[in-house]
A and B are shown apart, each in its own frame.
Chain A
Amino acid sequence: MPLPHLVPNPGDHVVFLVLRRMRAPLIVMIVITSISVLGMVLIPGVDEQGHPYHMSFFEAFYFVSFMTTTIGFGEIPHAFTPEQRFWVTLCIYPTVVGWLYAFGSILNLMQDPAFKRTLFHAAFARHVRNLSEPFCLVCGYGATGHLLVHRMAKEYRQCVVIDIDQEVINELVMEDLNLYVPSLGADAAETEHLIKAGLRHPMCRAVAAITNDDQANQKIAMTARLLHPDIAVIARAEYPETERNMRAFGVHHVVNPFATFAEDIAEAMTMPAHFRFRTRLMEGNDPESLAERLAGLADRPWVLCGFGRLGQTIHARLSEIGVRFSVVDAHPEINPLPDGAIIGRGIEEGHLREAGIERAGGIIAATDDDMDNLSIIMAARRLNPDIFTIVRQVQRANGALFEAAAPDMVMQCNHLVARNAHSWIATPLLHDFADGIERLSERTVERLMKRIAAKTAAETFETWQVRLDDGDMPAVATMLREGKELRMGHLLRDPWHPDEPLPHIVLLAELDGREWVLPGPSLPLQPNMNLLFCGRQSVGWMAARLQPDALAYGVANACGDWAVAGVSDAH
């Protein structure tokens, strides 16, 4: 029968190795010390009055201890005889050497990288085990992970980070985050490391597999699905094949940065208000002028330089909404170019002219080389100063160059993946809401945005999701448990001043798969309902969340027809 608790865990291996290597120095030290002690005990001495005197083991050990460590208190308890001094002279050198050898080797072993890593991993695993709040496991701390973790930390959401590169983990440790983020420099594709990082921890709420390696992401996502099926898995996939595999395995949210970007442009061209609203909810800013300009360019011809993964995805998606492209690409042997494509890098003015740059409404520089992309938009602007420029940025380090070139729109995979991963983790209802408002007209969405803008300044705008339970909304949960009737309107007004609306609006309510898009104030609240809000988190809102007295006062003094019992819910 296997005895699982007796199987040493792999980290113990190094500890055993270190102990084994400490054998020789320790034995040398014990032998030399004991011989010196024995000599001191056996060799006769005299006391101050000249009587014969033998040192006891205690005195000899005391003397040898301070001799060995080179402290040297002197000849204690009595001045030594010449015989004793002979013996001490003989002993001093070997004992000091033995001591230095032993301690030198032990200190050296303590510095052993494998040993230190084992200790560090053990400390990390202990820290993760002791986490008592919900956390998200982020695999990969490249540019994407960096953006995601920083945004999460800003919102005081706990993360645990794994990255294969110890260097970036060292950087993370030095970064100034709002909370301590445990981090591990190890390969996240290995199950053992994921478990160490808390994959099976009951408080683990989500796993984000956002390394720059599709294979690793796929392995992480599948491991998470198998070992902790209840939690949300967000995975980055840049190849359609990986995406298919992940979906087949039941990974909840696959983020393909290319498809996401193509979708963004398509939405901006066809439904600019929806695009603006969604961007506002996800990122906090309102790309008003961008959306307006893009919407006007949908029926103009476009030039697409670079027909790799991004180029193909954009081409496929925008062709669906009727955008016409001239494609320029330098690698016809790799990329399946459409008919009429121009072979070239797109830097040469001749090729751009051939692609019809003078008549084009916009140009997309989508090669995987930052310098080429910048050259393309520079050349395009020379030929057509009014052209709309979309450019792909691959390296985050080139940010300053892209800023100086000032294109109209920059496509950054890291940014898109981090944005989507964040919204899946922090506000998953936002995606349901975005689907839910698709059928609303542009004018309705514009009115909605005006309503929000009137309530909240752009700087303090937030989107947040809560659950009506004891953890998120204790005051509401308590009242509902007591059988009191609460309506949505009670959460939209300041409980201490029931006639004053709070600076936020409710976007979506969800309970057991049933959804209410833009619910009215008369919607009855129920335990464990999930609610999505946007606006500013005000003091009044905090009172409604946390203070039962405040909420009870607000309910008792609520005015408005929605507050009258018996009114049916609006949606």
Chain B
Amino acid sequence: MNLQRVFFAFFVLLAMSLNYGFFVGDMDNPAHHSVYELFGAVVINLIATVLKFGERSHIGSLLLASSLVADVGLLGAAAVMGYATHVAGNPAAWTPLEVSLAGGALSANIVSVTLMVIEASTIRR
């Protein structure tokens, strides 16, 4: 067992699960989409991205790319939420956009986890 790998897999999976946790629920019901969960998803996604820095392998670059896509989606959702609350003033109307952005990020996170599993399965024992 390699502690570094546990660490890495933990953050990649946690990023996906938090992202899913925020995404799941009615599209237009703000009560189903907690801002705390989005915050967690953003932070964990950023950490997962940084952990992927500097991988030279082909799969490593795909992992980094998928993580960057997830970051774009989640930071977009967070920015929309901040704008809706403080500038536009009607947070409920913007919820579907936030959720769909998070959904896009989720798809990138799923790719990321799949790639990680593929990479793990290619290692010969």
Q: Mark A42-54, 1 if CB is under 8 A from B, else 0.
A: 0000000000000
Q: Residues of B contacting A20 with CB < 8 Å?
A: 53-54
Q: Mark A543-554, 1 if CB is under 8 A from B, else 0.
A: 000000000000
Q: Residues of A contacting B54 with CB < 8 Å?
A: 16-23
Please tell me if A26 contacts chain B, counting CB pairs below 8 Å: yes
Q: Are A8 and B56 in contact (CB under 8 A)?
A: yes
Please tell me if A156 contacts chain B, counting CB pairs below 8 Å: no
Please tell me if A556 contacts chain B, counting CB pairs below 8 Å: no
Q: Mark A2-46, 1 if CB is under 8 A from B, else 0.
A: 000010100011001111111100110011001001100100000
Please tell me if A538 contacts chain B, counting CB pairs below 8 Å: no
How far is it, in angstroms, between the C-alpha of A59 and the C-alpha of B85 when the chains are bound?
Answer: 11
Task: Pick from B39, B50, B56: contact of A30, CB below 8 A.
Answer: B50
How far is it, in angstroms, between the C-alpha of A122 and the C-alpha of B35 when the chains are bound?
Answer: 44
Q: Given A8-B56, A57-B82, A58-B85, does the pair A27, B39 have CB atoms closer than 8 Å?
A: no
How far is it, in angstroms, between the C-alpha of A30 and the C-alpha of B56 when the chains are bound?
Answer: 23
Instruction: For chain B, residues 41 to 61, give those with C-beta under 8 angstroms from any C-beta of chain A.
Output: 43, 46-47, 50-51, 53-56, 58
Q: Residues of B contacting A18 with CB < 8 Å?
A: 54
How far is it, in angstroms, between the C-alpha of A36 and the C-alpha of B68 when the chains are bound?
Answer: 24
Subset of 25 A-B contacts with CB under 8 Å: A6-B58, A12-B56, A13-B56, A16-B54, A16-B55, A17-B54, A18-B54, A19-B53, A20-B53, A22-B50, A22-B53, A22-B54, A23-B54, A26-B50, A26-B53, A27-B47, A27-B50, A30-B46, A30-B50, A31-B47, A34-B39, A34-B43, A57-B35, A58-B85, A58-B86
Question: Could you tell me the distance in whole angstroms from the C-beta of A57 to the nearest C-beta in chain B?
Answer: 6
Q: Residues of A contacting B47 with CB < 8 Å?
A: 27, 30-31
Question: Could you tell me the distance in whole angstroms from the C-beta of B113 to the nearest C-beta in chain A?
Answer: 20
Please report the total number of A residues contacting B with Cβ < 8 Å.
Answer: 24
Look across to chain A and name the residue whose beta carbon is closest to the beta carbon of B60. A16
Instruction: For chain A, residues 332 to 388, give those with C-beta under 8 angstroms from any C-beta of chain B.
Output: none
Q: Are A27 and B51 in contact (CB under 8 A)?
A: yes
How far is it, in angstroms, between the C-alpha of A36 and the C-alpha of B56 when the chains are bound?
Answer: 33
Please tell me if A70 contacts chain B, counting CB pairs below 8 Å: no
Please tell me if B97 contacts chain A, counting CB pairs below 8 Å: no
Please tell me if A56 contacts chain B, counting CB pairs below 8 Å: yes
By size class, the interface of chain B is: 10 to 19
Look across to chain A and name the residue whose beta carbon is closest to the beta carbon of B51. A23
Q: Are B53 and A56 in contact (CB under 8 A)?
A: no
Instruction: Give me 14 other A-B pairs in contact (C-beta within 8 A), A23-B50, A56-B35, A57-B78 excluded.
Output: A12-B56, A16-B56, A22-B54, A26-B50, A26-B53, A27-B50, A27-B51, A30-B46, A30-B47, A31-B47, A34-B39, A56-B82, A57-B35, A59-B86
Q: Are B82 and A30 in contact (CB under 8 A)?
A: no
Q: Residues of B contacting A23 with CB < 8 Å?
A: 50-51, 53-54
Q: Are B39 and A37 in contact (CB under 8 A)?
A: yes
Question: Could you tell me the distance in whole angstroms from the C-beta of A97 to the nearest C-beta in chain B?
Answer: 18
Q: Residues of B contacting A19 with CB < 8 Å?
A: 53-54
Q: Are B53 and A57 in contact (CB under 8 A)?
A: no
Q: Residues of B contacting A8 with CB < 8 Å?
A: 56
Look across to chain B and name the residue whose beta carbon is closest to the beta carbon of A37. B39
How far is it, in angstroms, between the C-alpha of A27 and the C-alpha of B35 when the chains are bound?
Answer: 22
Q: Given A19-B54, A23-B53, A57-B35, does the pair A30, B43 have CB atoms closer than 8 Å?
A: yes
Question: Could you tell me the distance in whole angstroms from the C-beta of A110 to the nearest C-beta in chain B?
Answer: 15
How far is it, in angstroms, between the C-alpha of A16 and the C-alpha of B58 when the chains are bound?
Answer: 13
Instruction: For chain A, residues 56 to 74, give those with C-beta under 8 angstroms from any C-beta of chain B.
Output: 56-59
How far is it, in angstroms, between the C-alpha of A58 and the C-alpha of B42 when the chains are bound?
Answer: 13
Q: Residues of A contacting B53 with CB < 8 Å?
A: 19-20, 22-23, 26
How far is it, in angstroms, between the C-alpha of A34 and the C-alpha of B42 when the chains are bound?
Answer: 10
How far is it, in angstroms, between the C-alpha of A545 and the C-alpha of B56 when the chains are bound?
Answer: 56
Looking at A16, A22, A59, the one whose CB has the most chain B CB atoms below 10 A away is: A16
How far is it, in angstroms, between the C-alpha of A403 and the C-alpha of B87 when the chains are bound?
Answer: 80
Q: Are A57 and B39 in contact (CB under 8 A)?
A: yes
Look across to chain A and name the residue whose beta carbon is closest to the beta carbon of B45. A30
Question: Could you tell me the distance in whole angstroms from the C-beta of A76 to the nearest C-beta in chain B?
Answer: 13
Question: Could you tell me the distance in whole angstroms from the C-beta of A190 to the nearest C-beta in chain B?
Answer: 22
Look across to chain A and name the residue whose beta carbon is closest to the beta carbon of B11. A27
Chain A to chain B: the 9 pairs with minimum beta-carbon distance, closest first: A20-B54, A58-B82, A19-B54, A19-B53, A34-B43, A26-B50, A16-B54, A30-B46, A16-B56
Q: Mark B16-35, 1 if CB is under 8 A from A, else 0.
A: 00000000000000000001
How far is it, in angstroms, between the C-alpha of A447 and the C-alpha of B79 when the chains are bound?
Answer: 87
Q: Are A56 and B86 in contact (CB under 8 A)?
A: yes
Q: Residues of B contacting A16 with CB < 8 Å?
A: 54-56
Look across to chain B and name the residue whose beta carbon is closest to the beta carbon of A56. B85
Look across to chain A and name the residue whose beta carbon is closest to the beta carbon of B85. A56
How far is it, in angstroms, between the C-alpha of A389 and the C-alpha of B98 when the chains are bound?
Answer: 90
